[in-house]
Structure 1
Amino acid sequence: MKRFAAACLFALSLVGLAGSPAGAAEGFAPTQTTFLIGNAAGGGNDLLVRALLPGMSKALGVDVTPEILLGANGGVAAVRTGQAKPDGHTLYLHSQSVVMMQYTGQPQVNVEKLAAVAQVVEDFSCWAVAKDSPYNSIQDVITAAKAAPGKIKVGTTSAGVWPINLAMVKEKTGADIKLVPYSGGGAPAGVAVAAGEVDIAMDSPIVYRSLVDGGKLKIIGVFGTKRSPLFPDVPTAKEQGVDVEFPVWRMVFTTKGTPDATLAVLADAVKQAMEGEAFKTYVENSGLVANYKDNKDSQKLLDEQNAFYRDMLDKLGLKTSEPK
């Protein structure tokens, strides 16, 4: 689901605001730098990149130019980045979906050909139930699911990160909860909850804000490392005694083999961009949580996530390919 229209218009207007950089940052060659966007204009990744561009261009001293390269849900842009010259002048942003791609039918995608630059933000899922639902917490749902195995139904996407999130909840708690897939993901699932078709809808908190504001739904928990800025009174799953944290990170990548010094310069440029008003305004409007990690910590996370998803997808019977 596309983020707020206001955020779209705002972020799309950011390109060019950085002006003409005075000179390249020390350790970064004054060469054309392209930021590949593997998703459609106006989508979450596109808007996030454009919110970073002014600050990154200023920090690096070169114009960082966005280029939309569609195909395979960002897979084509990932492959292009992996094949680029390892000099830090081809950048790319995606979530852990890029890790999952290589194991679920897109073996041409290989995250070992990418170098992590910086984690930028985190998103996470929530559980939304009907306003008059007897469930007021995640623990309420777990208790009910254990008492009546298979009766509780959660609506969300059939593929992607949220089914993995639900599988983790089931594994950690032993609760038998049924996944009901919805074409289009969590948004139609939210409508289905309001209509009584399923008990719970699962997606990013922002997806359900209008239904919550309209008195149709209530949020009973989030699976982030922090509370949602949109619903600060709603505790995390971990705060409720359910030891499941499932942050959906978005990270900037470049090509494997890029010198460490260049990666450090790029990571610092991302950090400076995150301190700018353009980025802060976008994050505030989108409901995301800013969470910067430098290139070393981001690479560690990427390696851990690569191993995690390889094993988890295999365990769930969803692993269909190996990266080339």
Structure 2
Amino acid sequence: MLKELLIRVGFAHIALPILGGRGAVLVFHRLGPPQADLIFEANQRNIVSASTFGLLLDALAEDGVDVVTLDEAQQRLADPRARRFVCLTFDDGYRDNHDLLLPILEARRVPATVYVAPGLVDGTSPLWWYALDEAIAREPRLRLPLPAETTIATGDRTGKQRAFATTAHVMTTAPADVRAGLMTALIERYGVDPKVLAARHMMDWTMIRRLAASPMIEIGAHTLSHPPLATLTEHAAAEEMAGSRERLEHETARAVRHLAFPYGSPGTTGAREAQIAAALGFRTAVTTVRGNLDRRHAEARHAWPRHGMGPADGPSALRLRLAGISNPFHIVRPDR
């Protein structure tokens, strides 16, 4: 209600020329209805209904904001006379990107970039957030190496939420061997099947090739196995980025020129990762740090911010973000 009120009184209109920068990148993951088999808000908030997505596109058109490719965004950032813009990006490679997103983009003639992590598609890199959701939903307690063996009661809602948050923290901050041990425990002790999860949630390679063939979609790299890159050595992080591009180019016969860092938060991605992406020749690399794009991002192309969009984010929330207000109490001031 507060967001609606701020829009009605013209707050976004006032803030836009001061705080709005020159454009923005929006990050989505999935389109569709809520998934009945996912119990945690952390997983549900990555799903935006197709109708809400349509309303966001309508709002952009009404406001005269162009939806452009990442390459076009680079050009506009370098041109002070260019119109304001938004880039649409989708992370991971979910099945609904093929079933729902592709028809919408082609019908509206709107471009987007879909960042794909090949390991998530193959099931060789488990969708741990769904594996964890599945195990916690049905077990009264979990015994997991975090890294020490720890038993977590999950019999009630509070316990389940605590277990998810605790384990998710390990999966995004711990070294690779700890993360691997945790996943092995989920698979061997609680019957989680990564291949089944991949088949249920992710596109297959035929679908990805169909997206790559569309003039409305560009496939971007999202590393091979979707790790928190800051936990890896520099060499391993570079292999993740370059290996993702190599596999995607092999599968799609299309150049892969843009990168999204997994998780993309300050704890998982930093200056080192941006430098690696630049050295590998990616044209842009995106984070999940909130903010708009301004003049400096024409050169600082390997740590672009993005605004995350969730199921409750309608046109008012979008307009506030594009005006430089990620929420009514948090102002992002661009550095022009």
TM-score (norm 1): 0.25
TM-score (norm 2): 0.24
Structure 1 or 2: larger helix share? 2
